[in-house]
């Protein structure tokens, strides 16, 4: 596995692989890799002959007071894990490589219709930072396909919109949410959970399933089902931000007669802010 910190060197290698006829897949990450990330890497390997994984903790998607400084960084362990998976290249740019004019002067990407709702309500500017860095990584690598996870549902819709609207010739592939045996969606922030909190954390996914089951049974409105899920999470020790049923394609308020739908949730449990979702086909 080759490691690159500069775009110029990475592009030279990518050009050589393309001359050989290889397709390129990109898996963008912020590092501290877990099994969920590695599942994305395996999906990428099924889609292309060469796999590039980027590791960059993007400062522009963290609001003041969030965990940018303390976000877990494990570069050595990450590189070892990627090498075991047969990744062809890891891209570890410094901030100046990603934002050559500095953060204050950086060109930014805004999609208000998708960015200001749900997680955007409590994390203003977050999705603008995500879209901005993903656009830069796509421009740097120029992949044929880029792989993201369904756990970050609102994020993947933002990225799909970005690619479609700006005519970026990269196919976006969204892999199913990777879960622990008890249903908890895998996330680097799960390590913020204390042991007792970790035992309670699967209640978030259970709350989503309760909404989906209630919708299938009929007789209750989406609003009442989501309100009940919020109450259940609060009783379980969470600080819920939202549980909402939305149109799966647009995140518009759900029409229960139409499919597919998605129920999404965000809640704090101790130091951890957990998100999850469940598609209703």
Catalytically active residues are 37
Long-range contacts of 39-43 (CB under 8 A, 24+ apart): 39/175, 39/178, 40/147, 40/148, 40/149, 40/175, 41/82, 41/85, 41/87, 41/147, 42/85, 43/147, 43/173, 43/175
Query: In Å, how far are 45, 205, 209, 266 from 229, measured between CA atoms?
Result: 38, 10, 9, 11
Provide CB contacts within 8 A for 234, sequence distance 6+.
240
Question: Quick check: helix, strand or coil at residue 58?
Answer: coil
Strand 24-29 to strand 50-55: parallel, antiparallel, or no bridges (unpaired)? parallel
Provide CB contacts within 8 A for 19, sequence distance 6+.
none
Question: Quick check: helix, strand or coil at residue 123?
Answer: coil
Tokens of 278: 């469940």
CA–CA separation, 203 and 185 (whole Å): 11
Strand 145-149 to strand 24-29: parallel, antiparallel, or no bridges (unpaired)? parallel
Helix (H) or strand (E) segment spanning residue 153: helix 153-165
As a whole number of Å, the end-to-end CA separation of the chain is: 40
Tokens of 169: 């010739």
């Amino acid at each position: 596995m080759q490691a690159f910190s500069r775009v110029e060197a990475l592009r030279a290698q990518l050009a050589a692989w393309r001359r050989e006829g290889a397709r390129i897949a990109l898996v963008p990450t912020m590092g501290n890799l877990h099994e969920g990330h590695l599942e994305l890497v395996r999906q990428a390997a099924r889609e292309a002959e060469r796999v590039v994984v980027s590791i960059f903790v993007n400062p522009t998607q963290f609001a003041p007071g969030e965990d940018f400084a303390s976000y877990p960084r494990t570069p050595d362990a990450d590189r070892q894990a990627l090498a075991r998976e047969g990744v062809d290249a890891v891209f570890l740019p410094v901030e100046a490589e990603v934002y050559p004019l500095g953060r204050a002067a950086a060109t930014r990407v805004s999609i208000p219709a998708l960015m200001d709702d749900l997680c955007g309500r409590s994390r203003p500017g977050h999705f603008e930072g995500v879209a901005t860095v993903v656009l830069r990584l796509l421009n740097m690598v120029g992949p044929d396909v880029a792989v993201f996870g369904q756990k970050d549902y609102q994020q993947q819709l933002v990225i799909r919109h970005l690619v479609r609207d700006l005519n970026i010739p990269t196919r976006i592939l969204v892999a199913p949410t990777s879960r622990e045996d008890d249903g908890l969606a895998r996330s680097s922030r799960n390590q913020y959970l204390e042991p007792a909190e970790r035992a309670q954390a699967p209640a978030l996914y259970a709350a989503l399933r309760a909404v989906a089951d209630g919708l299938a049974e009929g007789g209750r409105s989406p609003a009442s089902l989501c309100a009940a899920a919020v109450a259940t999470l609060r009783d379980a020790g969470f600080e819920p931000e939202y549980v909402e049923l939305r149109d799966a394609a647009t995140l518009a308020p759900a029409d229960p007669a139409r499919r597919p739908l998605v129920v999404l949730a965000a809640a704090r449990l101790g130091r951890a802010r957990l998100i999850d979702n469940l598609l209703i086909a």
